Structure 1
Amino acid sequence: MWSDNEADVDLLGFDFLVDELMVPLTRPQLLPLTVGLLGEWGSGKSSLLKIVAARLDAERPADGGRYVVVPFSPWQFEGYDDIKVALMDAVLNRLQAEAASNASAAEEIGFLRRFINRLRRPAVFAGRAALAGVGPAAQLAATHYQPALAPLAQAVVQQAAVMGGAALDRAEQQTPPEDAGPAAGDDVLADVASFRSRFESLVETLEGVTAVIVLVDDLDRCLPGTIVDTFEGIRVFLHTKKTAYVIAAHPQVVEAAIDRFYPTTDRAGATGLGAEYLEKMLQVKITIPLLSVPEAETYMQLLLAQLHLEGSDFATVLNDVAQRRAHSVLAVSLNPGLAADSLGRDRMPSALFTDMGWAGSIAPLLGAALRGNPRQLKRFMNSVIMRRGSAQRRGTDLDAAVLAKLMVLEEQYLTDFQRLFDWQVRGGGGTAAELAAAERHVLSAAFVRPAPARGQRRASTAPDRSGDRVEETGPAEESLPLDPEVATWAAQPHIERWLRLEPVLGGIDLGPYFTYARAKLTVTATAARLPAALQGLLVQLQSEIVAVRRTAVRSVAETLPAEDLPLLMEQLLARVLRDPGSDAWDGAVEVAEKVPGAVAAVCHTLGRIPLDGIPRAKVSSAVRRLPQARQEVTALLDGWQNSGHAVGQIVAGLRTPRGSV
């Protein structure tokens, strides 16, 4: 298995991003500089910072000096220390090591440390923050972003003065540390200016130091105040000559936090300040791209190679992959054949060959479903290996290819995985006849599509040594009569793609595999007893094909007996609870739109779902389709709107009549 911590080996092919960072960081004329390393959670920001740190340590500038690298995570100090103080302390601690043989520099660091120790005293810090921090920040927001905020800013400053004065009065009654020095409020601005000047001089006088580079990670895990404090600590105290700062963060998360910290009032367009704030703070932006499907497959294969190979063999494979990536990132750079070519046929472990086979099979669908997110890809791989290992401890040998294919469905399309399990239960164990029928239908249907024509070559999941996928031919099979429920399930595009993955599962007893997925499954006698007609409607109401879903809604509204409605809705809403982002949500609100008897149950269920788990698109669907005249709907939407959550803002916007302000 693989650790979820940052990696010091580049498996993602991010060497070009390392170079993009190194160029501005090693140009003295650009300093001081703040660089944004921007990417989604799990995109590889922390690993990239670690690789850049190692590269900077090894770099030898033209002046013969060296780069002093300071890693810093504000998230680790949140709630325990003032973030600006913690940041300054981290930088001074690192410079202390550089000044070990320089008495004057060590003395200067001591002076700077006494200054930040005074800031650490809670009462004095609170008072000074109110007097010296809130006022300028509020005035900056007013003058730079919205002049109309000036009166509000002045009120904030006055209130801050009252609060700060009270805090300082309390602080004067405390005995300050002997080395604290003067603590009067009038010294704050002078102290800040003095700190910047003396910090700049310190960096200039450190022998052999070309630049101090601070790598800030985990900022997007922090509270809004911590995020703003980190930027202020950099720009107010530390942004001096021969310094650079790399901020690794999810840009949308940081922008939203800044919007929350600086709420807008009558700003034109009611847009937040987050994007502009980030634009002002970052002089250079480097964005980590999502992995393409071929890149995702190469990454998965490299993880397996790292797991199975010793150091020198893995280094050989990794080097060959780097060379292939240099020619094209749009082709798979590692698969079983390419690995065997790198190692030699006699040195290719059979276990690695097998694992690379199933990874290559699921990679196209999994890479697309996970949007090329490295952390999620790694977690999926860990889950496969962990589940297989757990089964082996109980004497059960799960085929890795079968397990991986099933887990793609489980992890990405839980409602469809539940459907597969329901068929297994309904069939009394053994093989699922419905799955076998769906596979036959899809595999034969491939030859009667308009394109490719009958007998034309079609893409398989097996890659050749070049990394491209091999085309194969096969005889056309005649379509067999198929149960409507199975046909509807198999017609979903993602299910059709999944059914085409190797291996074919229709003839395999999947019972042991479901045993290890029970935490996500619901075994209900009700589901097993649903009449065939209701089973078919249940599947159709969860279809991602809108026309199929709407046809099912009409059937429920026009022909379904009233006594069957609660039974059907119970099962449909159970799926909504398990996976609010699924098409079951759309089916449920569309039924509620057309069937008055379903409204209460739908509203009750939607009200039970945590707001953090509701996708924005689903909120829009509910507001547009639920009958607003019903009391249950009003109560649901009012609850969402008044929640203080982002969902509430969406609801408020959708409920506002057009043309109103």
Structure 2
Amino acid sequence: MLIPDNETEVDFLNCEAIADTVIELLKTNRSRALTIGIHGDWGAGKSSILKMVQTGLSSDGKVACLWFNGWAFQGFDDAKTVLIEATITELVRQRSNMGKVKELGKKLLKRVDWLKIAKKGGGLAFNFATGLPSPDQIGSVLSTIQSTITGLGSVSPDQLKSGLEEAATYLKPGEGSEDKNVPEAIHQFREEFGELLEEAKIEQLVVMIDDLDRCLPSTAIETLEAIRLFLFVPKTAFIIGADEGMIEYAVRQHFPDLPVSSGPLPYARNYLEKLIQVPFRIPALGTQETRTYVTLLLVESIVGDDHAGFKELLAKAKAALNRPWLSAGLLQGDIQRVDASKRQQLDSAFLLATQIGPILAEGTKGNPRQIKRFLNALLVRQAIAKARNFEGAINQSKLAKLMLAERFQPDFYDHIASQAMTSDDGKSHDLLALEAIEQEQAPAKPAKRAKTDEETSAPPDVSKWAEREWLRRWVKMDPKLGADDLRPYAFVSRDKRMLASAADVGGIDALVTKLMAAGMTLRAVEPEVRSLTSSDADSAFNALRERVLAGGSFVNQPPGFEGMQIIAKHHPRFQTELLSLVQNIEPKSLGIWIVKGWNEVVTDPTAVTQWRTIRTGWAQQDSNGMLKKLAGESLSTTRSSGGAR
């Protein structure tokens, strides 16, 4: 069972205290306009707190609670109008049977039509200064009229009249309005929005804005400006879930000419504090909180969140988290009492949480989403081992410990995994030496210390790893791994190149190195490429593709590309893959080398058609003139010779 990685109303992090405080703040300030910020890193639980607040307000008929996800609407329209229209539309939907709500809603939606023609605030700025339509607005209207006139031969008189009337409406704030400029239009909009709230019998409108920190800078700023400029009226409250660091970044990107600071705070922070009156910061999880959180997640994955024993455990955990400095957290007996029939699984979950909690807290910086993703990866790998019938060779605690190294010290993990895969017994002898060194050391050592006799006599690689404080603490963690066959763990966690036999690993790596060459050196490798097994060909082709893409430039032929062609020549199933890679590169980024050298490579009928399509596209584009010319000549040569390529 995977751990859901989305917002939830079930509180594992004791965030209900923040949610309850927000709800109380809203209740005691219903007549005011209010903006509240729920701040935290990506994955800290902002969306879950918003859900808890929404649930807490759901039973109050005098409060209308709306949800707006800025990221979901990004790219559809001007961000200002999207938020305004979404707010009005959802409010009308919820209160459509009350008084003149529908009529007032339609009137407000018409009033914001003029916003759609503004170009990222340029039209608005012009209107503010002059009270006249901006050049962008006039240009858009002229374009509309021109396109209408161009199509006169295919439209009826009624369609022509409708098109011209629609274009004309963009030259005024709202149909039938007497407003002369944008400031008056905004003032009128705010008054009419207040009337809508009165008509809907709403004492407080609460708008939840989620995922704003995932938006592009312009979208984030326009959404915030829409709140202040149009919707910030009495009886409205906005709760904004966002990482304040990302919003400050958006401010700096959107207003690049701002001075660095004004007084004690930077301008970007001042901008945010002007918009958000009451900020709440979600704290990162500490070591004990991480251990409790991991325990709850693992126990839930075993018994489910509806289990009576789990609900009791959750209540006990929340009580312990209220005063973590006084409590030892969850005890093994607490876990065992959840379900006596699953005691062995629950004991394993408690042991695992105790072992990995401290380093997981440090490595993820106490981020709940990162913790969830780590545990999900662990559960998935266990499931893979079970599906492949070697689950008996995998110990959960040992797998988790190895995954910690893989996640936080990847170069060290690659080193010991490679050692294990190339040894006869599957052991990493450097890891065994590290464990022996740490066993002889005092429990705690300063970062800079004189090397011990054991380290001095240790191989250079071992001494290098022993200098890392993180690895020293990791090595000391139970269970020990140096005496274990690590091949099953590497098999379930790494790519295909890590899974070959000892002889194959060195052979494939050496072959890939040869295939990075060119000319006659590369041609000499063809017999070896021809004899590759299917899995070895996969490994070599994928390794070359990674290196070619990592180069990032295709003006000249990147090292390894000709090697990919050699593999595709002798293993035709790679021909369409190689051509797809080429097809996804923008023509303007390609050098003329790309047109040559394909006659021996492209032999599969599907690939032949694909190669012709690619060259046809190049011959029709205008961003790369030389490529266009050579592609056209290549197609002409193919046609004149009567060949397929």
Matches within 5 A, 1:110-189: 110-120=106-116, 125-126=117-118, 129-133=121-125, 161-170=134-143, 174-176=163-165, 181-182=175-176, 186=180, 188-189=182-183
Using structure 1 for the length normalisation, give the TM-score.
0.65
Shift of 1:129: 4.5
Q: Give, in whole Å, the separation in 1 of the partners of 2:204 and 2:438.
A: 61
Separation in 2, partners of 1:505, 1:336: 24
Secondary structure at 2:256 match in 1: coil
- Compared with structure 1, are the counterparts of its residues 260 and 491 closer, same or farther at alpha carbon in structure 2 (3 Å cutoff)? closer
Change (3 A) 1:327 1:520: farther
Distance in 1 separating the partners of 2:468 and 2:311 = 42
Q: How does 1:620-659 map to 2 (within 5 A)?
A: none
Return 5+ residue gaps in structure 2 as ranges. Answer: 147-162, 447-453, 508-546, 552-645
Q: Compute the displacement of 1:228 (Å).
A: 1.3
1:253-274 C-alpha deviation (Å, 9 max, x unpaired): 1111111111126667899632
Answer yes or no: is 1:215 the counterpart of 2:208.
yes
1:232 aligns to 2:225 (yes or no): yes
CA RMSD of aligned residues (A): 3.6
Q: Can you list the C-alpha shifts for 1:428-453, whole angstroms capped at 9, x where unaligned?
A: 34222222222122123236979xxx
Q: Is the Cα contact below 8 Å between 1:128 and 1:164 reproduced in 2?
A: no
Relative to structure 1, the CA distance from residue 31 to residue 172 in structure 2 (aligned partners, 3 Å threshold; closer, same or farther) is farther
SS at match of 2:480: coil
Q: Cα gap change, 1:293/1:217 in structure 2, threshold over 3 Å: closer, same or farther?
A: same
Once the two structures are superposed, the pairs formed by residues 278-427 of structure 1 within 5 Å of their partners are: 278-310=272-304, 311=306, 312-328=308-324, 331=327, 333-341=329-337, 343=338, 346-397=340-391, 398-427=394-423
Alpha-carbon distance, 1:236 to partner? 1.2
How many angstroms does 1:28 deviate by? 2.3
Q: Which moved more, 1:393-402 or 1:430-439?
A: 430-439
Q: Which has the larger radius of gyration?
A: 2
Q: Are residues 266 and 248 of structure 1, via their aligned partners in 2, closer, same or farther at CA, if it must alter by over 3 Å?
A: closer
**What letter corresponds to residue 32 of structure 2 in structure 1?**
L
SS at match of 2:100: helix
- C-alpha contact (below 8 Å) 2:31/2:204 kept by paired residues: no
Aligned to 2:490: 514
Question: Could you tell me how far 1:171 is from its partner in structure 2?
Answer: 5.2
User: How has the CA–CA distance of structure 1 residues 325 and 29 changed in structure 2, closer, same or farther, with 3 Å as cutoff?
Assistant: same
Query: Are 2:290 and 2:357, in contact at CA under 8 Å, matched by a contact in 1?
Result: yes
Q: How does 1:431-470 map to 2 (within 5 A)?
A: 431-446=427-442
- 1:229 maps to a residue whose letter is E
Map of 1:251 onto structure 2: 244
SS in 1 for 2:386: helix
2:38·2:241 contact (CA, 8 Å) conserved in 1? yes
Query: SS at 1:28's partner residue?
Result: coil
CA contact 2:39–2:242 (8 Å) conserved in 1: yes
Cα contact 1:128–1:188 (8 A) shared by 2: no
Structure 2: how far apart are the matches of 1:18 and 1:365?
29
Structure 1 SS opposite 2:376: helix
The one-letter code of the counterpart of 1:192 is: I
> Once the 2 structures are TM-superposed, how far is the Cα of residue 187 of structure 1 from its aligned partner?
5.0
The residue number in structure 2 matching 1:8 is 9
Q: Deviations over 1:138-157 (max 9, x none)?
A: x8xxxxxxxxxxxxxxxxx9
Unmatched runs of 5 consecutive residues or more in structure 1: 140-156, 451-477, 530-573, 579-661
Checking the alignment, whether the CA contact within 8 Å between 2:83 and 2:223 is kept in structure 1 is: yes
1:514 partner amino acid: A
Aligned equivalents of 2:219, 2:120: Cα separation in 1: 17
Which among 472, 497, 504 is matched to residue 496 of structure 1?
472
Letter of the structure 2 residue corresponding to residue 95 of structure 1:
L
How far 1:293 moved relative to its partner? 1.1
Using the TM superposition, name which of 487-496 and 405-414 deviates more. 487-496
* Alignment CA distance shift 1:116-1:159 (3 Å): closer
Q: Give the match's secondary structure for 1:245.
A: strand
Cα shift readout 1:90-133 (whole Å, capped 9, x = no counterpart): 2222322343332322321221122234544xxxx237943324
Q: Is the 8 A contact 1:220 1:253 kept in 2?
A: yes
Separation (CA, whole Å) in 2 of partners of 1:71 and 1:106: 20
- Offset, 1:246: 0.8
Gap change, CA 1:127 and 1:486, over 3 Å in 2:
closer
State the alpha-carbon separation in 2 of the partners of residues 77 and 448 from structure 1: 52
Aligned residue number for residue 87 of structure 1: 83
Instruction: Indicate whether 1:40 and 2:41 are aligned.
Output: yes
Letter paired with 2:268: G
2:527 corresponds to? none
Q: Counterparts of 1:332 and 1:241 in 2: how far apart (Å)?
A: 47
Using the size of structure 2 for normalisation, the TM-score is: 0.67
Report deviation, 1:194.
Answer: 1.4
245-254 or 423-432: bigger deviation = 423-432
Shift of 1:4: 1.7
2:65 match: secondary structure: strand
Q: Which amino acid aligns with 1:126?
A: A
Structure 1 residues 52 and 219 mapped into 2: Cα distance closer, same or farther (>3 Å)?
same
Q: Does 1:51 align with 2:52?
A: yes
> Contact (CA 8 Å) 1:264, 1:272: kept in 2 or not?
no
- Letter of the structure 1 residue corresponding to residue 366 of structure 2: G
Please state if 1:483 is matched with 2:466: no
| Distance change >3 Å, CA 128–CA 421, structure 1 → 2 | closer
Which has the higher mean CA deviation after the structures are superposed, 77-86 or 423-432?
Answer: 423-432
Aligned 8 A contact 1:362 1:405 in 2: yes
**SS of corresponding position for 2:75:** coil
Are residues 127 and 228 of structure 1, via their aligned partners in 2, closer, same or farther at CA, if it must alter by over 3 Å?
closer
Change (3 A) 1:200 1:329: farther
Cα distance in 1, alignment partners of residues 189 and 144 from structure 2: 22
2:200 counterpart residue number:
206
Q: Is 1:109–2:80 an aligned residue pair?
A: no
Q: Deviations over 1:153-172 (max 9, x none)?
A: xxxx9999433433344456
Cα distance per residue 1:360-414 (max 9 Å; x no partner): 2111111111100000000000000001101211111121111000000001110
For residue 68 of structure 1, give the secondary structure of its aligned residue in structure 2: strand
Is the Cα–Cα contact under 8 Å of residues 44 and 374 in structure 1 kept in the other structure?
yes
Q: CA deviation at 1:485?
A: 3.0
Check whether the contact 2:420–2:487 (CA below 8 A) recurs between aligned residues.
Answer: yes
**Aligned AA for 1:518?**
R
Contact preservation (8 Å) 1:42, 1:374:
yes
Superposed CA offset, 1:243-293 (max 9, x none):
100111111111111111111266678996322211111111111111111
Q: Which moved more, 1:317-326 or 1:22-31?
A: 22-31
The residue identity in structure 2 corresponding to 1:217 is D
Contact 1:31 1:242 in 2 (8 A): yes
Aligned identity (percent) is 28
The CA deviation string for residues 299-318 of structure 1, in whole angstroms up to 9 with x for no partner, is: 11111121112412221111
SS in 2 for 1:37: strand
